């Protein structure tokens, strides 16, 4: 089965073309192609509560391009989801209508709660090999951070906070919002102590690579602390020229490291799994379940 997933995020817009082999005991999910366009809708939405005509034009062109790629790939089904920036933009309905008219793509603006549920659909504990441990999943985006505390199929708590990398760069996250997230993390982790954190999002993937640890190995909380300090020792231009970071990664990686580190510190978690899965991967799992359930019925 072939599926396509579109994630219209606050920092970037992504297309995942995926294939699922269901011949074995457990289905195997394979990424065929992953395309990322750094449009940064959050720069408009979080400051002006609107998406500018310039960014709207880039978004529509990107969606038209994604539609051509999906037509060539011929997936069984697709789903397109928009998150924090489009949730807050007052002109999102008009933009969604124009996207539908020009590309044929149905774009759904999902709540933070729905976003967390889709991310959880990845069932990451099966990938990292343990249903017995308790995990706090931390997904950091440009506009929001989704937190999910779970063990196996049991979800103890989940919450979406309007604390994201672009919001932090723009200086629009209040102390009260930080304190609310801190209080929530401490409460839920006191009730159900997590054995590990799970990190998702492009920034934690990059931090894991920068740590020098091999794929599939654990990232330490102290690794993130040291990388946070190390990155702050460079100017934005130096992070691009000396560290080789992409311009759209070089600025957001610093506030991202602050969020990941803070959540792990508040939850007293020393180790993090970084399976390199996010919202788009969760969408593929949702689509696969939808079609297998239909087949079974």
237-278: pLDDT as tens digits? 999 999 999 999 999 999 999 999 999 999 999 999 999 888
Final residue in a domain of this structure, among 112, 146, 171: 112
Report which of 262, 253, 269 is spatially closest to residue 149, judged by C-alpha positions. 269
Beta strand extents in 48-172 (DSSP E only)? 77-82, 107-109, 135-140, 145-151, 154-161
Neighbours of 225 (CB within 10 A): 15
* Residue 132 pLDDT: 84
Please report the pLDDT score of residue 296 as a whole number: 45
- Is the same domain home to 14 and 37? yes
Let me know: does 224 contact 207? Beta carbons within 8 Å: yes
- Residue 119 in any domain: the answer is no
Do 69 and 174 have their domain in common? Answer: no
Name the domain count of the chain. Answer: 2
Clarify whether residues 164 and 63 are in a common domain. Answer: no
Q: From CA 66, how far away is CA 87, in angstroms rounded?
A: 21
Domain coverage including residue 13: 2-112
Query: Across residues 39-58, what is the average pLDDT?
Result: 96
pLDDT in tens, 160-177: 999 999 999 999 999 999
What is the phi/psi pair of residue 275, to 5°? -80, 0
Residue 98, H or E segment: helix 92-103
């Amino acid at each position: 089965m072939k599926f396509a997933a579109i994630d219209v995020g606050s920092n970037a817009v992504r297309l995942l073309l995926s294939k699922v082999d269901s011949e074995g005991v457990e289905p195997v999910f394979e990424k065929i192609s992953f395309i990322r366009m750094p449009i940064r809708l959050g720069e408009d939405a979080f400051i002006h509560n609107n998406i500018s005509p310039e960014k709207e034009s880039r978004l529509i062109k990107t969606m038209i391009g994604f539609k051509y790629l999906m037509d060539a790939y011929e997936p069984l089904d697709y789903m397109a989801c928009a998150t924090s920036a489009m949730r807050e933009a007052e002109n999102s309905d008009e933009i969604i209508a124009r996207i539908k008219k020009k590309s044929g793509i149905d774009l759904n603006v999902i709540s933070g709660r729905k976003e967390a549920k889709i991310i959880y659909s990845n069932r990451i504990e099966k990938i990292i090999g343990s249903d017995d441990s308790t995990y706090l999943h931390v997904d950091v985006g440009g506009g929001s951070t989704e937190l999910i505390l779970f063990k196996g199929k049991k979800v103890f708590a989940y919450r979406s906070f309007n604390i994201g990398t672009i919001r932090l760069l723009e200086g629009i996250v209040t102390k009260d919002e930080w304190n609310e997230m801190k209080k929530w993390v401490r409460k839920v982790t006191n009730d159900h102590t997590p054995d590990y954190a799970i990190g998702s999002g492009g920034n934690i993937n990059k931090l894991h690579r920068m740590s020098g640890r091999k794929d599939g190995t654990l990232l330490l909380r102290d690794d993130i602390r040291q990388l946070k300090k190390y990155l702050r020792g460079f100017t934005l231009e130096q992070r691009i020229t000396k560290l080789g970071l992409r311009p759209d990664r070089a600025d957001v990686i610093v506030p991202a490291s602050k969020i990941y580190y803070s959540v792990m510190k508040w939850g007293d978690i020393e180790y993090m799994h970084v399976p390199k899965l996010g919202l788009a991967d969760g969408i593929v799992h949702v689509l696969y379940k939808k079609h297998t359930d239909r087949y079974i019925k």
